[in-house]
Amino acid sequence: MIYQTILEAIIFPGTFFTIGMGFLFDWLDRKTAAHMQGRIGPKIAGPFGILQPIADFLKLLLKEEILPSHADKTVFLFAPALYFLAPLLSMLFIPIIGPAAIASFDYDLLVILFLLAYAAFVVAVLSYSSASGFTTVATGRLILQYVSYEIPMVLAIVCAALYTRSLSVEGIVAGQSKIWNIFVMPFAFAVYIISLMAELEKPPFDIPSAKTEIVAGWLTEFSGRALSFLKLTKEVGYVFGSALAASLFLGGGLGPEIAGVPSSLLYFVYFMVKLMAVGFLIFVLKTSLARIKIGQATELFWKILTPLVLAQITLVLALIQGGVLVAS
């Protein structure tokens, strides 16, 4: 039994699966954007260029690694590895092939929230450690953006947790067996998606890595292995963010039973469909928007989205009190 858990954690649906999904999301992202913009996108490596992200990853691994002379060497070398852990670890709390997640416990949602904050903190430290003009500006933007999006994001997650009366992802998914959270709290879902785009630095929130302003933002000084892993981590974070949205608001792997099909396979298929749907929504949004400025982003999150999600929470609680909605 213990071996099975270890295998699950490492291969499927754990680390390796997550990394594979990261590559797949990268490819889907590039392909969707390309087709929306009237281009073709990756097409050489593998069928329809599906292996292109892996080829890019391997190529970067082979490249020379340059250490900036001003950088804080210890942080600069180890922080990418610390950053890589965050989304990988978080994925273990999300039920993928059955109602039970690999490393689930009663309050794992708090751990996920901690890991989200941890990832942002590591990026800020990592950015600051490379000590150049561009990364300094990027660090300021990163921290300000994090402070902006974190509150509405956490409130949106809390909204789901409040309604389903559970602080574990497993429990929240199980609580949606009657009705998905998105139908109860559509605005919380919208706020979560917008905050997620800010967390992933996708347009219109690609402010900390705006390439036409501050080169590559906090990634500027990285090269070789560190860069390849940082890029991969961003993609894995993408997968995790979408998976969390699918679990918290779209009912995870829940769906109608089909006779003759094993339930775990069905659960997995439903989960993947929802994961892809969330991912696709973000691909389309990010391709059709321009980048805003950091002040405008902060204004959006604090002045519009935070009150909106607070109103949503109040509404859900009022409906439960009034007996219109039944808390599951």
Partner 1 sequence: MTETSTTPARREESAGLMQYSVENLVPFGPIHPALKEPEYFKLVLEGEKIAQVIPRIGYVHRGLEKAAEMRPWVQNMYMFERTCGICSFVHSLCYGQAVEELTIYQVPRRAKYIRVIIAELERIHSHLLWVGLMGHWAGFETLFMWVWRDREIILDLVEEISGNRVHKSMNAICGVRRDMPENMESRIVEKMKFIEGRARYYREIIDTEQTMLERTEKIGRITADTAEKLCAVGPMARYVGLRHDVRLNDPYAAYDEIPFDIVTRKEGDVHALLRLRLDELVVSANIVSYAVQHLPEGPVRVKIPPIIPAGEHASHCEAPRGEIYYFVRSTGGRTPDRVKSRQPTMANLPTALEILKGQTIADVPMVLTAIDPCFGCMDRMAFLDTETNRQWTWSGEELRKYGINYYRKRKK
Q: How far is the CB of 25 from partner 1 (least distance, A)?
A: 18
Name which of 160 and 207 has its Cβ closer to partner 1: 207
Q: Does residue 285 interact with partner 1 by CB under 8 A?
A: no
Q: How far is the CB of 313 from partner 1 (least distance, A)?
A: 26
Q: How far is the CB of 133 from partner 1 (least distance, A)?
A: 5
Interface with partner 1 by CB under 8 A: which range of 184-192, 206-214, 243-251, 274-282? Answer: 206-214
| Residue 8 structure tokens | 């699950």
Spatial separation of the C-alpha atoms in residues 134 and 128, rounded to whole Å: 10
Q: How far is the CB of 220 from partner 1 (least distance, A)?
A: 11
Q: With beta carbons less than 8 A apart as the criterion, state whether 122 and 82 touch.
A: yes
How many chain residues bind partner 1 (CB under 8 A)? 30
Q: Give the CA angle between residues 34, 38, 44 to the nearest 5°.
A: 50
Closest to 287 (Cα-Cα) out of 12, 26, 81, 29: 29
Interface with partner 1 by CB under 8 A: which range of 75-83, 170-178, 212-220, 231-239? Answer: 212-220
Q: Does residue 291 interact with partner 1 by CB under 8 A?
A: yes
Q: Does residue 292 interact with partner 1 by CB under 8 A?
A: yes
Interface with partner 1 by CB under 8 A: which range of 103-111, 181-189, 249-257, 294-302? Answer: 294-302
| Residue 207 structure tokens | 């402010």
**Tokens 């080829």 -> residue:** 55
The long-range contacts involving 47-53, CB below 8 angstroms and separated by at least 24 positions, are 50/24, 52/27, 53/22, 53/23, 53/24, 53/26, 53/27, 53/235
Question: Interface residues for partner 1 in 29-88 (CB under 8 A)?
Answer: 33, 36-39
Q: Does residue 296 interact with partner 1 by CB under 8 A?
A: yes
DSSP 202: -
Closest to 166 (Cα-Cα) out of 104, 241, 114: 104
Give residues in contact with partner 1 (CB under 8 A): 33, 36-39, 133-134, 136-137, 140, 203-204, 206-207, 210-215, 287-296
